Structure 1
Amino acid sequence: MTDETDHPSVARVRQALRDAGAATASIDGLLLLPDAVTTATAAADALGVQTGQIANSLVFDADGEPLLVLTSGAHRVDTDKVAALLGIGSLGRASKELVREATGQVIGGVAPVGHPAPLRTLVDTALAQFDVVWAAGGVARAVFPTTFDELVRVTGGTPADVV
C-alpha cells in the first residue's frame, strides 16, 4: 500500500475545496482508507455508513460533452430522464478516456471537484436527506465528508432528481 496523501489528484481536490470555501471538515477530513473503494457499497462498508450517503461521481457522455452526475450510492441514474431534463439527444456512460480528460482522475476515484476545468454537474436531490455524505477524493482510497448543500455550492452543480 502506498501513501497517496500527496498524490496530485488528492492535492487538487484539497485545493479546489479550499478555493471554493468548503467547510474545514471537508478539507481536513479527507481520509485515505486502507484499501481502494471503487463502489458505493465498498465505500459505505469501509466508512460504516449507509450506501445512500455515498455521493458517486459518475461521468456521462452528453451529446459528446462530459456531464458529472453526483448521485446517491443507493441509486442508479435514469439516463433517459436526465437526457430529457437537459434537453439532449443522448446520454451514455463516458469512456475511461473521456473521464480522465474531463476530470484528470481515473474511474473509481473521481471527485466532485479538482478537475482541469469546471464540469456541468447535477447533484442528486436524494443526497439532501443525509446530514453527512461522503465523496471520492481523487484516488480510489480517498474520501471526504461533506453535505448536499456544500456539494451543490462547491461544484456549481444543479440539484436534480436523477432516478
Structure 2
Amino acid sequence: MLAGIPFTAHAYEHDPRAAAYGLEAAEKLGLDPDRVFKTLLVTVDGALAVGVVPVAMQLDLKALAQALGGKRAEMADPTVAERKTGYVVGGISPIGQKTPLPTVLDESAILCETIYVSGGRRGLDLELAPDDLLDITSGRYAPIARIR
C-alpha cells in the first residue's frame, strides 16, 4: 500500500543502452504498451506540470496546456525535472515527487483496469488502478496523447 492505495511493484533488468525507457519496460515486463505510461515534465505558461501518456504515444503539448487552463506548454529541462521530482530522467514517477505538481493522465487509461508507471528508478514499474493514480497525485484525465 502506498498512501492507502494498493499497488504492485514490478522490477526488471534495465539495459543502459535502451533508447526508450517506457518501451523497454513494456517489452521486459511482457506488457501491451497501451498499459505502460511514461511521466513527462513540462512547463505550462512557465509553471511545471506533469503529463502521463502511453509509452508508444507522444504527449500533445497543446492539449496538455489546454487541460491545465494554459496557453503554451513545452518540455521541461531534464535537469529541472530531476531537481524538482527527486528522480532521474527515465525513472521519473508521477508518485512521490519532491514538489507536488499539477498532473494530467491521458484519458486512454480509463480503458485499463490497471496501468504501469515508473516506480522512481529505471528498472522498476508500479502497477495500480488509474483512478488511484489520480487520487494520490490530485490529477485529472484529459486527451493529451497523440500517435507519434
Q: Shift of residue 52 of structure 1?
A: 0.8
Partner residue, 2:4? 21
Q: Separation in 1 of the partners of 2:9 and 2:95?
A: 13
Kindly report which structure 2 residues correspond to 1:104-123, keeping only aligned pairs within 5 A, or say none: 104-123=86-105
Is 2:51–2:64's contact at 8 Å kept on the other side of the alignment? no
Kindly report which structure 2 residues correspond to 1:1-150, keeping only aligned pairs within 5 A, or say none: 18=2, 20-23=3-6, 26=7, 29-36=8-15, 38-150=20-132
Q: Shift of residue 99 of structure 1?
A: 0.4
Q: Give the TM-score of the pair, scaled to structure 1.
A: 0.80
Q: Separation in 2 of the partners of 1:114 and 1:47?
A: 23
Unmatched runs of 5 consecutive residues or more in structure 2: none
Q: Give the TM-score of the pair, scaled to structure 2.
A: 0.87
Q: Shift of residue 59 of structure 1?
A: 0.6
Is 1:109–1:138's contact at 8 Å kept on the other side of the alignment? yes
Q: Separation in 2 of the partners of 1:123 and 1:42?
A: 20
Q: How many residues align?
A: 142
Q: Shift of residue 115 of structure 1?
A: 1.1
Structure 1 or 2: larger helix share? Answer: 1
What is the root-mean-square deviation of aligned Cα atoms in Å?
1.6
Is 1:128–1:147's contact at 8 Å kept on the other side of the alignment? no
Q: Separation in 2 of the partners of 1:47 and 1:31?
A: 8
Q: Separation in 1 of the partners of 2:31 and 2:120?
A: 20
Partner residue, 2:141? 159
Q: Shift of residue 128 of structure 1?
A: 1.4
Partner residue, 1:5? none
Structure 1 or 2: larger strand share? Answer: 2
Partner residue, 1:3? none
